[in-house]
Amino acid sequence: MQSNEQTQDSGKTVLLRGLKKRCPQCGVGKVLKGYLTQREHCAACNEDLSTIRADDGPPWLTILIVGHIMAPFIHYFITHDTFPLHLELPIMLAMASVGALCLLPYAKGFFIAAIWLTRRKK
Ligand SMILES: [Zn+2]
């Protein structure tokens, strides 16, 4: 367990901890309980996370990433007649939905870490 007064981890380290859904300060405790519910405090170092509100950041980042991943598939489906339209739409919807649901918790952890990083004492 490290405290801010002893050593300050680099921004990259803090953001990587966030991507792993870990506490931005210690990297040990989890920042989410369940799928997306944010913990009030880190279980390992008791860092207060209750004032951090990621709000619309995680969905924005998720849509940005999933949209870029989906773009080549959408282009392929439009330009090739591989599947009939009534199969293409469910396939693309399933790919986008699964991609978004998989990425969203990691995006939330990333944003919690990024917000924590901007508030960290120098
Ligand atoms: Zn912690």
* Each residue's pLDDT tens digit, 32-79: 999 999 999 999 999 999 999 999 999 999 999 999 999 999 999 989
Cα 7 to Cα 10, 26, 82, distances in angstroms: 10, 11, 56
Return residues with CB closer than 5 A to ligand 1 (ion): 23, 25-26, 29, 42, 44-45, 47
End-to-end CA distance of the chain: 19
What CA–CA distance (Å, rounded) separates 69 from 100? 11
Ligand 1 centre and the CA of 49: distance in Å? 9
Cα 21 to Cα 6, 8, 37, 55, 83, distances in angstroms: 23, 19, 11, 16, 38
Ligand 1 centre and the CA of 117: distance in Å? 13
**Confidence at residue 122, expressed as pLDDT on a 0 to 100 scale:** 64
Place 3 in a pLDDT band, splitting at 50, 70 and 90: very low
Ligand 1 centre and the CA of 1: distance in Å? 8
What CA–CA distance (Å, rounded) separates 41 from 31? 8
**Confidence at residue 82, expressed as pLDDT on a 0 to 100 scale:** 86
pTM of the model: 0.86
pLDDT mean across residues, the chain: 92
